[in-house]
C-alpha cells in the first residue's frame, strides 16, 4: 500500500481506494478482439501506468498496487474482475478463460473492504460491461457477458434496491468502451456503438466522430481522467465545464485497454 496523504493535523483524509495491478511482462500476449496486434513497449506501458497511479494519488486516492501476474497478460485491467458497490463487491467470471485466474487475488484484496459475492458457472461477465449510475446498473450484452451472469447480478442486487438494465453493444469490446459517466447524470457516448436512448433521462455528450475510442473516461472526485489521445472530444468535454485530467495510456490502448480498465475504485 502506498502512503496516504494526511491533513495538516496529521489525520487520515477520507478518500477513495484505487486497486491497481502492475503491468504484466507477458502483456504482448493479451487478448484482442477489435484491434490488430502491435508490439507493446513494456517499459513505456509501465511508465504510463505509473503516471496513472500518480494521477490517482494526486486526486485523493489511496492506491493499493498489486504485484504483476507474469503469466496473466491482461491482469493490469483489474476493472474486469469485479463490480464494486457500497454494499458489496461482485467478483466476476471473465468472459475469456485466459482471464479467469485474475480474480483470485482481487477477491482477497476486496475482502478487506467489502462483503463479496461471486458470479458462478455458467455466468460470464467482465466489469468493463457494467456501468453503475447511482442505483441503476447498465450491463452490456457483449461476447464477454452473458444472460446467466446478468441474471445472477440482478438476483444479488434487486434486494439492495438496484435496477439492472441490459444494453446491446455493437462494434467494441465492452459497454464502457462505448459509454461512461462524466458526471452524476452526464454520459459520454459513442452513438455508433451504443444507442444513447437506452440511458433515458440523462444528459449525453457524443464523442467526436473522428475519435471512436473516446467514450471511456474515469469519473473521480468531480473531475475526469481522460486519454490524451482524443483532443477533439476533450475540447467538447472542457466546453461543458468538465475538469479534465489528461493521461497518456497509448501503450495500454494497444492491448485494448483504456482509463477505467486499469483501476477498481472503492469508496472508503
Ligand atoms: C481484453 O481483451 O480482455 C484485454 N486485452 C483488454 C481489457 C480491457 N478492459 C476493459 O475495457 N475494461
Judge residue 154's burial from the number of C-beta atoms within 10 Å of its C-beta, 0-12 exposed, 13-18 middle, 19 or more buried: middle
Ligand 1 near 94 CB (within 6 A): no
Mean pLDDT, the chain, whole residue set: 94
Ligand 1 near 102 CB (within 6 A): no
Active site residue 174: yes
- Atom 3 in ligand 1: residue holding the nearest Cα: 31
Domain map (residue ranges) of the chain: 6-267
Instruction: Report the phi/psi class of residue 170: left, alpha or beta, with left for phi > 0 and alpha for psi in -120 to 50.
Output: beta
Cell output for 62: 489511496
Which residue of 83, 256, 262, 264 sits with most ligand 1 atoms within 8 Å of its CB, as the best mutation to test the pocket? 256
pLDDT at 246 over 90: yes
Q: What is the pLDDT of residues 4-15, one digit of tens each?
A: 433 333 344 448
Residue tagged 440511458 (cell numbers) = 199
pLDDT at 200: 86
Output the pTM of the full model. 0.94
Phi and psi (nearest 5°) for 249?
A: -120, 35
pLDDT at 40: 98
What's the gap in Å between 195 CA and the centre of ligand 1?
Answer: 21
Q: DSSP assignment, residue 191?
A: T
pLDDT at 82 over 90: yes
For the segment(s) 6-267, the CATH number from 1.20.1560.10, 3.30.1360.30, 3.40.50.10800, 3.75.10.10 is 3.75.10.10
- Atom 5 in ligand 1: residue holding the nearest Cα: 31
Contacting residues for 206 by C-beta, under 8 A, at least 6 apart: 189, 190, 191, 196
Nearest 5°: the CA angle 171, 83, 224 is: 70
Q: How far is CA 29 from the centre of its chain?
A: 21
Ligand 1 near 82 CB (within 6 A): no
pLDDT at 207 over 60: yes
pLDDT at 201: 82
Q: What is the mean pLDDT of residues 241-265?
A: 98
Which residue of 84, 99, 126, 129 sits with most ligand 1 atoms within 8 Å of its CB, as the best mutation to test the pocket? 126
Before 3, cis peptide (omega within 30)? no
Following DSSP, what letter does each residue of 116-151 receive, concatenated? EEE--TT----GGGEEEETTEEEEEESSS--HHHHH
Contacting residues for 240 by C-beta, under 8 A, at least 6 apart: 182, 186, 205
Q: What is the mean pLDDT of residues 224-235?
A: 98
Choosing from 49, 61, 174, 182, the catalytic residue is 174
Which residue of 77, 92, 101, 169 sits with most ligand 1 atoms within 8 Å of its CB, as the best mutation to test the pocket? 77
- Atom 2 in ligand 1: residue holding the nearest Cα: 31
- Ligand 1 atom closest to 144 (CA): 3
Q: What is the mean pLDDT of residues 191-218?
A: 96
Ligand 1 near 174 CB (within 6 A): yes
Sign of the C-alpha dihedral computed for residues 34, 49, 194 and 133 taken in this order: positive
Cα 179 to Cα 190: distance, rounded to the nearest angstrom: 6
- Ligand 1 atom closest to 174 (CA): 11
Amino acid at each position: 500500500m502506498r502512503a496516504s496523504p494526511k491533513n495538516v493535523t496529521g489525520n487520515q483524509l477520507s478518500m477513495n481506494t484505487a486497486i491497481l495491478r502492475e503491468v504484466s511482462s507477458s502483456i504482448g500476449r493479451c487478448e484482442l478482439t477489435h484491434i490488430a496486434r502491435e508490439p507493446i513497449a513494456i517499459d513505456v506501458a509501465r511508465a504510463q501506468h505509473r503516471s496513472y497511479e500518480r494521477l490517482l494519488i494526486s486526486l485523493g486516492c489511496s492506491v493499493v498496487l498489486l504485484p504483476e501476474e507474469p503469466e496473466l497478460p491482461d491482469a493490469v485491467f483489474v476493472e474486469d474482475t469485479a463490480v464494486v458497490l457500497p454494499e458489496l463487491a461482485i467478483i466476476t467470471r471473465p468472459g475469456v478463460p485466459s482471464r479467469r485466474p485474475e480474480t483470485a487475488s482481487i477477491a482477497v484484496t476486496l475482502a478487506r473492504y467489502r462483503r463479496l459475492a461471486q458470479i458462478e458457472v455458467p455466468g460470464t461477465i467482465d466489469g468493463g460491461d457494467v456501468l453503475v449510475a447511482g442505483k441503476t446498473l447498465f450491463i452490456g450484452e457483449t461476447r464477454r457477458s452473458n444472460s446467466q451472469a446478468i441474471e445472477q447480478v440482478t438476483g444479488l442486487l434487486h434486494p439492495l434496491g438496484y435496477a439492472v438494465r441490459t444494453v446491446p453493444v455493437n462494434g467494441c469490446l465492452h459497454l464502457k468502451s462505448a459509454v461512461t459517466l462524466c458526471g452524476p447524470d452526464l454520459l459520454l457516448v459513442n452513438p455508433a456503438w451504443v444507442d444513447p436512448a437506452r440511458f433515458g433521462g440523462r444528459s449525453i455528450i457524443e464523442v467526436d466522430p473522428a475519435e471512436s475510442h473516446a467514450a471511456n473516461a474515469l469519473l473521480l472526485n468531480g473531475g475526469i481522467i481522460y486519454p490524451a489521445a482524443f483532443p477533439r472530444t476533450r475540447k467538447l468535454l472542457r466546453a461543458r465545464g468538465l475538469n479534465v485530467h489528461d493521461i497518456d495510456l497509448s501503450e495500454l490502448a494497444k492491448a485494448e485497454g483504456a482509463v477505467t480498465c486499469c483501476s477498481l475504485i472503492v469508496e472508503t
